[in-house]
Amino acid sequence: MKKLQACLFAISALTLAVPASAQFAKAEDAVKYRQSALFVMQQNFSRVAGMAAGKIPFDAKVAADSAAVAEFTSKLPWAGFGPGSDKPESKAKPEIWANKAKFDDYATKMQTEMAKLAVATKSGNLDSIKLAVNATGGTCKSCHDDFRAK
Amino acid sequence: MKKLQACLFAISALTLAVPASAQFAKAEDAVKYRQSALFVMQQNFSRVAGMAAGKIPFDAKVAADSAAVAEFTSKLPWAGFGPGSDKPESKAKPEIWANKAKFDDYATKMQTEMAKLAVATKSGNLDSIKLAVNATGGTCKSCHDDFRAK
């Protein structure tokens, strides 16, 4: 009974009363969610990019593992750009919500290139990885140039 | 040529000169990485827990998708608890590094229960999901009680 109470306490502490339509309890959570997902992605992508640039010794397994995490997490941030998530202070420009179709197109392109990078790292061919890193990095830059404040 | 330069710029901006042995460029990145991974996981777990507790209307697909993300991200935070990552200010207690084996055991248990939750959500059976949410929430609580400052 005591254990059940502890569990119920843990659950109530972790949950919030929100409608299913609202993916996040508050706009600040949406912002933190997209920033968190992008940070996890960026850390993993940067490791592979560092290997491609010769700044980090090439390790095929680490590259493949990192690219797999980057690919998975590349799908996550976009849920955090929903209606109302433009309100809290962040580097996301209002243009995102004004040009959502263009933003979504950039997001799709990045995910496509990140998936290709994951495939390239599985090949273990450093030249293929370099090309895929360049293509992926280009999609990051395009979006940051248009939609992220300095 | 201009495009190549833009790509190379994007890559150099995203990479850091670090040895492969150092998974993160600096201890602050390790802390931010584990916090980010745990936040993404918690947001997804909480959505399923909210459905289990009747606070969010049950949607089998959303539950399964959320649990899948929670399962994947449950594997990530631990890389951010390496040597030196106890230095930056955070809620992580020094006991983590003093009792690493116990901490790792909690981490493994949480990942095991989160994987079971992902299986339960695929079944679509709310009773199974409730049991798995309780078990998973219990592993969160145990670890927070021992290793996380209030």
Q: d(Cα A133, Cα B5) in Å, to the nearest integer?
A: 13
Say whether A40 and B18 touch across the interface (CB within 8 A). Answer: no
pLDDT confidence tier of residue A52, bands split at 50, 70 and 90: very high
pLDDT of residue B2: 53
Output the DSSP codes for B89-144: SSSB-THHHHTHHHHHHHHHHHHHHHHHHHHHHHHT-HHHHHHHHHHHHHHHHHHH
Instruction: Work out the mean pLDDT of chain A and round it to a whole number.
Output: 89
Stretches in chain B below the pLDDT threshold 70:
1-22
Contacts of A35 in chain B (CB under 8 A): 36
Task: Please name the residues between 72 and 111 in chain B that touch chain A, using a CB distance below 8 Å.
Answer: 72-73, 76
Say whether A17 and B55 touch across the interface (CB within 8 A). Answer: yes
- Top pLDDT among B11 and A65 is at A65
pLDDT of residue B23: 85
B24 touches chain A (CB under 8 A): yes
Residues B77, B92: contact at Cβ < 8 Å?
no
Helix %, strand %, coil % of chain B (to 5):
70, 0, 25
Q: What's the N-to-C CA distance of chain A in angstroms?
A: 54
Say whether B32 and A12 touch across the interface (CB within 8 A). Answer: no
Domains of chain A in sequence order: 30-81+91-147 (1.20.120.10)
Render pLDDT for A81-96 as a digit per residue (tens, 0 to 9): 999 999 999 999 999 9
**Residues B116-131: b if buried by 16+ CB within 10 A, e if exposed:** bbbebbeeeebebbbb
Say whether A37 and B36 touch across the interface (CB within 8 A). Answer: yes
pLDDT of residue B3: 55
- Mean pLDDT of the region A121-129: 96
- pTM exceeds cut of 0.90: no
Q: Taking CA atoms, what residue in B is nearest to A26?
A: B43
Render pLDDT for B97-119 as a digit per residue (tens, 0 to 9): 999 999 999 999 999 999 999 99
Task: Quote ipTM for the complex.
Answer: 0.86
Q: d(Cα A124, Cα B98) in Å, to the nearest integer?
A: 38
In chain A, count H helices and then E strands: 6, 0
Rg of chain A on CA atoms, in Å = 19
Task: Please name the residues between 28 and 57 in chain A that touch chain B, using a CB distance below 8 Å.
Answer: 29, 32-33, 35-37, 39-40, 42-43, 45-47, 49-53, 55-57
Written as six digits, the tokens of A101 are: 């179709």
Render pLDDT for A5-38 as a digit per residue (tens, 0 to 9): 555 444 444 444 343 335 899 999 999 999 999 9
Task: Please name the residues between 118 and 147 in chain B that touch chain A, using a CB distance below 8 Å.
Answer: 133-135, 137-138, 140-141
On the question of pLDDT at A51 being above 80, the answer is: yes
Closest by CA position to B49, among listed B63, B60, B29: B63
Residues A37, B76: contact at Cβ < 8 Å?
no
